[in-house]
A and B are shown apart, each in its own frame.
Chain A
């Protein structure tokens, strides 16, 4: 049986639905020693701003039960270095390139989006959901009116299709998904990390210098699956689902809930071969259940 693992988002065709989650895979270079990037549907880069960002003080990461907290604070080299170094590296591979964009103001985001307009980049993922920076980031992603406004501004300037990355730190995810759709987003991705905190009881100190951080990993997966399901039922936009994906089974679960594609985040740190294994595991699942087109399982969950 010929397996068709291709999926399409906003006119862009991906060889399979497996992507990397922003910030957990650098710009692909570090993990290319472990995983053949040619096998991935797309590499989603670490957030890129208009200028270099220093990020937060350390400790920036800590382990939690079945997951981790991070407060990296979007350290990145800025657009110029990214264009000079990271895009040419990624172009060597037969995979799609999705650039994650961050900013402190709408103007910052627009500057990056415009700076990328003539670059060989397939899509842009707009991070309006980072819990670890004091200005911008999540502020745009927690209020539907702000999300609408920024989405509209960016969509007007962007040459590539845009994915709005949504925060789970909201009361009603469907409201946010609808705001992004109404403003013209081409797709949405979710979930970003869930704001959390850890305290070292022996030292009576916060585990992270930033006090709070974003929770990711298997611990958040059920929340993520639920939100993908709710969003999928509220809007027509394609969804890239993520949050704790470790195996092909997890990936399939997100797709059944309504995700067109999936992204692997923290679990790259635990199993640097995870993305490639998930690609193979999805094919095994298709053979086992006689599925010719992977797109047939999108949103196929029933009561």
Chain B
């Protein structure tokens, strides 16, 4: 599982919601990429040097392709959204620890994704669907339900929307309450307020929750100490309760991080 920087080729790209793009790239990194890991994507604009971390949405090992789904947020993602099939794209990967999929075996699982935190849930759902009872809870802003069809093949899917246009009005936790759902373990990715609420819910329910965190990054490989999360225990690298999200994360057991 060596990390490397390589030049990938865009296989195809299409918009799947307002400002949300779905890109498949051809790269040897697809062979080893795991659910919950990420790649860092470089821009061509030489004034913009740091790579953009983007989660792995789906892997196609056989054809050596990786899928990423991202929202246009600024300079870098705007540039990526213009790429066409055949364009070259420099990436660094695969980075991060990924979701501990083995913990889902034989369990009732909540996969909870909020907004642009939904993409990493897809590969995770594919990986665990065979051995677990998967309940997928997706939170959107409105009726643009990107990736919900892909995901619903791998479990029972529920939807919440902020504007109430589809499913439960509110957020992913409202879905649990409205439908009286329960599970033995949670995997989640999404905005910080959602992750905080999930951490609290998991504590009350007495079940483990694995959550994926975000932070501004520079190196992506654990060298610069730019991307730390506050942890409840002393971290193994610096021994100061500051864990490097890019290498020791992005996935943490919720009770281990102070968010």
- A interface residue numbers (CB < 8 A to B): 23-26, 30-31, 33-34, 46, 52-55, 58-63, 65-68, 70, 72, 75-78, 81, 217-218, 266-273
Contact = CB atoms under 8 A, between A and B. Distances in A.
Nearest to A65: B47
B71 interface: no
A281 B224 CA distance: 25
Nearest to A217: B49
A233 to B, nearest CB: 31
A193 to B, nearest CB: 12
A34 B51 CA distance: 16
Contacts, number: 111
A34 B216 CA distance: 22
B222 interface: yes
Contacts of B5: 34, 271-273
Interface stretch (B146-154, B180-188, B225-233): B225-233
A25 B49 contact: no
B178 interface: no
A34 B3 contact: yes
Contacts of A81: 239
A54 B217 contact: no
B242 A67 contact: no
B200 interface: no
Contacts of B110: none
A266 B249 CA distance: 22
Nearest to A78: B239
B221 interface: yes
B219 A30 contact: yes
Interface of B: 2-5, 42, 46-51, 92, 215-228, 237-242, 247
Nearest to A272: B5
Contacts of A65: 47
Contacts of B92: 272
7 contacts: A33-B3, A52-B240, A55-B238, A58-B228, A67-B49, A77-B238, A269-B223
Given A53-B240, A68-B49, 12 more contacts: A33-B2, A33-B221, A52-B239, A52-B240, A58-B216, A60-B225, A62-B216, A70-B218, A77-B239, A266-B49, A269-B50, A271-B5
A242 to B, nearest CB: 15
Contacts of B216: 58-62
A271 B238 CA distance: 25
A226 to B, nearest CB: 21
A78 B46 CA distance: 36
Contact of B242 (A34, A54, A217, A273): A54
B21 to A, nearest CB: 21
A269 B224 contact: yes
Contact of B223 (A68, A218, A268, A271): A268
A90 to B, nearest CB: 14
A55 B50 contact: no
> Most chain-B Cβ atoms within 10 A of its Cβ — which of A25, A266, A272?
A272
B242 A75 contact: yes
B75 to A, nearest CB: 9
A70 B47 contact: no
A269 B95 CA distance: 13
A24 B237 contact: no
Contacts of A60: 216, 225-228
A67 to B, nearest CB: 7
Given A66-B49, A67-B49, A218-B49, A54 B224 contact: no
Contacts of A68: 49-50, 218
A261 B9 CA distance: 38
A70 B226 CA distance: 8
B225 A55 contact: yes
Given A55-B242, A66-B47, A270 B42 contact: yes
Given A61-B224, A70-B224, A75-B242, A268 B219 contact: yes
Contacts of A218: 49
